[in-house]
Amino acid sequence: MRYFLPDPSDLRWLVRSLDLQSFSAAARELDVAVSVVTRGVSRLEAGYGVTLLRRSTHGLSATPEGAELAQEARVLLAQLEDISAALSGQRNRVAGALRLASSQEICEQLVLPHLVQLRARHPALRIELVAEDRVADLVTDGIDVALRTTVGSSESVVARELGSFERRLYASPAYVRQHGEPADPHALSQHQVVTHTAQGPTVTWTFRQAGKPLDVMVRSQLAANTSALVHHALLAGAGIGMLSRPLAAADVAAGRLVEVLAPFASRAKHTMYAVSLPSRRNAARVRAVIDFLQEAAREQWGLAPATSAPAAPRLR
């Protein structure tokens, strides 16, 4: 029985067409004619005897078979790149494309301010940023490196700790002037509360009172589906909400936000990780970007891993 062996170039056309949701966008990126891309995908569909893509006015989307093939193709294409680099004696050369996933706010505050330095250091590296609050699936979404604050015990990923931080409550000075500051956590029921939609309409916030944990349930009057929107809502005076201290630091220093209920803060630590797949951990571009993220977290936010790690050079 003969098996269909696809051309790696055709697999690349498929993956990039799905990533960009467009044949023409994939063709422009890869500097080929649109017909080259469409014929490549057609060869895959003919070879496997299945439909891989759905075409609509909203762009391209994968069928179940197309999603499965794209997932496997991402892994295969990455392995082929590594083999090519190894055989050409350029295993340690930082080059090629890398997809980096994080929330929009972390991307804007941590990644973008230092991206010029990364590009100057590795001009042959192409970065594709994927900014959204949902936890990206490294395999399905074709992510090389992701920034996360949680790592599931069932996940087969390699995680490097970038550092720990606290989450605190903040409001704008205008809100505090108009509504006052809650005297204790229970008084939050008398205030406007802003939360993330992923938490639902009712949220339990943990505090410390008299040295003991105190859980207080609050109901939000405004919810947003990204942490960046929650942050902007607080700046606009919409109410009181929870932010990571590093993300709020610049606005606190500039007087645009004030911390609320600081004496009752739980002081619980949350850890940020840079995660990658075990199969990608030794790729030069993955190592370079994770090193860069660790440097940026230290420079921008003063974060440092709790475990000992080799000192990284300063960004410059």
pLDDT digits (tens, 9 = 90+) for 182-201: 999 999 999 999 999 988 88
- Sign for the CA dihedral angle at 211, 213, 214, 220 comes to positive
Single-letter amino acid code for the residue at 25: A
* Same domain, yes or no: 281 and 142: yes
Q: What is the CATH number of the domain that holds 305?
A: 3.40.190.10
Q: Which residues pair with 74 in a beta bridge?
A: none
Count of alpha carbons within 13 Å of 152, Cβ hemisphere only?
Answer: 7
* Pairing mode, strands 240-244 and 193-196: parallel
* Same domain, yes or no: 159 and 174: no
CB atoms within 10 A of CB 121: 15
Cβ atoms of 242 and 169 within 8 Å: the answer is: yes
- Rounded average pLDDT over 19-32: 88
* Same domain, yes or no: 116 and 260: no
The H or E element containing residue 270 is: strand 270-276
* Same domain, yes or no: 275 and 150: yes
Q: Is residue 307 pLDDT above 70, yes or no?
A: no
User: How many domains is the chain partitioned into structurally?
Assistant: 3
Cβ atoms of 247 and 108 within 8 Å: the answer is: no
Q: Which of 60, 90, 120 is the last residue of a domain?
A: 90
* Same domain, yes or no: 154 and 282: yes
The Cα–Cα gap between 178 and 260 comes to: 14
pLDDT (tens digit, 9 = 90+) per residue, 203-223? 999 999 998 999 999 999 999
* Same domain, yes or no: 103 and 153: yes
Distance of CA 23 to the CA centre of its chain: 25
* Same domain, yes or no: 150 and 278: yes
pTM for the whole thing? 0.74
Q: What is the CATH number of the domain that holds 2?
A: 1.10.10.10
pLDDT (tens digit, 9 = 90+) per residue, 245-282? 999 999 999 999 999 999 999 999 999 999 998 877 77
Instruction: Collect all residues with Cβ–Cβ distance below 8 Å to 134 and sequence separation of at least 6.
Output: none
The Cα–Cα gap between 51 and 168 comes to: 50
Ramachandran assignment for 96, one of left (phi > 0), alpha (psi -120 to 50 degrees), beta (any other): left
* Same domain, yes or no: 173 and 260: yes
* Same domain, yes or no: 159 and 175: no
Q: Which of 90, 106, 132 is the last residue of a domain?
A: 90
* Same domain, yes or no: 61 and 23: yes
* Same domain, yes or no: 235 and 287: no
The residue range of the domain holding 203 is: 167-264
* Same domain, yes or no: 255 and 229: yes
* Residue 91 pLDDT level (bands cut at 50, 70, 90): low
